[in-house]
Structure 1
Amino acid sequence: MRVLGAILAGGRSRRFGSDKAHATIDGERLIDLVARSLAAQCEAVVVCGREEDGINSIPDWPEPGHGPLGGLNAALHHAAIEGVDAVLSCGCDVPNLPTDLLRQLEQGAPAIAGEQPVVGLWPVSLALACDSYLATGQRSLYGFADHVGARRVPIEPPLANINHPSDLPDR
């Protein structure tokens, strides 16, 4: 199976107070940690919703302002054009992805990692379903996951979710 890694990074980081994608852990930016983890498991990696030097970047689809679902939709459409089978998505704020995340999720995609719908495996065939869902005015990634019957796969240890500077690990 050919898989595109997609970093959903179009948010404004309001709760964090600054650009959390560029916050660091042990001197490495969060977005770089996520990109490296996805690159080890995927054929290619894109950043959705923002321009990022050194990483192929694509705009949210159909336009900015649709939250993480707009980024996922962009990745699904980009993957379809590239002839890729699925998208492995992750927010830019989940720096501790397991090295076998793809293996854990691919046993019946679509699937999301526990209670974090930004971390998921999505067949490219869902691109039109995502378009239709967004066209109804819905923006919830949880709602879309439920709409398409995504499995919830428990991941251990639990995935980090960096929303505030205090969520960064002390090192």
Structure 2
Amino acid sequence: METVGILLAGGRSRRFGSPKAFAKLKDQYFYEWAYAALDKVCDDVIIITREELLPLFPKNLFLSTDDHRFSGDGPLAGIYTGMDIINADQYVVLPCDMPFITRKELKQLTLFPSTGDIKAVKQDEIFHPLVSIWNSSLKEKIYQTLMNKNLSVMQFMSAVDTEWILANQISDKPATVFQNINKPL
């Protein structure tokens, strides 16, 4: 089964104040932590970012901006773009602003049995829709959703067969691992 990682690193980072992808944790950029986790469980990894951030990434990485029709339309546009550029059976999606997620958690998520369209993580009452695995069969539905300017990832997920995996089933430290960093460390 072909698995591609989609690293979302193009958010506006309004609350953060600077591009989260280039914030640092222990002398590594956030995107480097996410990339390392994806690289260990995926056959290929694509980073979806904004045009102005492209020059900041190393040239040897597989980079893209959103499909021009959906530029700036949020995470759903990034997921669609990754699916449209690289064909695979499934896509492991990870945002750059969760640098504590490792290969271990992503591997556990990939191994967790599911028959749904999407597997995503839920920690207590907090949903993490961008720590997820998406079936390739969703590509056309995502395209139609974006064409209709319905940009909510959670709304999309509620319209398809999404299985929410409890964070403590894939991590022994879910409160630490599944932190979405919205303020500089």
Query: Same-fold call, TM > 0.5?
Result: yes
**Equivalence for 2:156:** 144
Q: How many Å separate the matches in 2 of 1:17 and 1:155?
A: 28
Counterpart position of 1:96 = 100
Map of 2:180 onto structure 1: 161
Question: Which residue of 2 is the match for residue 75 of structure 1?
Answer: 82
Contact kept? 2:37, 2:106, Cα under 8 Å: no
The CA distance in 1 between the partners of 2:107 and 2:146, in whole Å, is 26
| Deviation of 1:101 (Å) | 1.9
Q: Contact 1:60–1:74 (CA<8 Å) still a contact in 2?
A: yes
Whichever structure has more helix as a proportion of its residues is 2
Match status 1:41 vs 2:41: yes
Q: TM-score, normalised by structure 2?
A: 0.82
Q: Which residue of 2 aligns with 1:31?
A: 31
Unaligned runs of 5+ in 1: none
CA distance in 2, matches of 1:152, 1:117: 9
Question: Unpaired segments of 5 or more residues in structure 2?
Answer: 169-173
Shift of 1:103: 3.6
Amino acid at match of 2:96: C
CA–CA distance in 1 between the matches of 2:158 and 2:142? 12
- 1:107 corresponds to which residue? 113
Distance 1:63 1:49 in 2: 13
Q: What are the equivalent positions in structure 2 for 1:56-75 lying under 5 Å apart?
A: 56-61=62-67, 62-75=69-82
Please report how far the alpha carbon of residue 143 of structure 1 lies from its aligned counterpart in structure 2 after TM superposition.
Answer: 1.0
Aligned length: 163
Shift of 1:3: 0.6
Preserved contact between residue 94 and residue 160 of structure 1 (Cα < 8 Å): yes
Name the CA distance, whole Å, in 1 between partners of 2:159 and 2:10.
23
**Matched-pair contact (CA < 8 Å) for 2:70–2:77:** yes
State how far apart, in whole Å, the 1-side matches of 2:162 and 2:107 are: 15
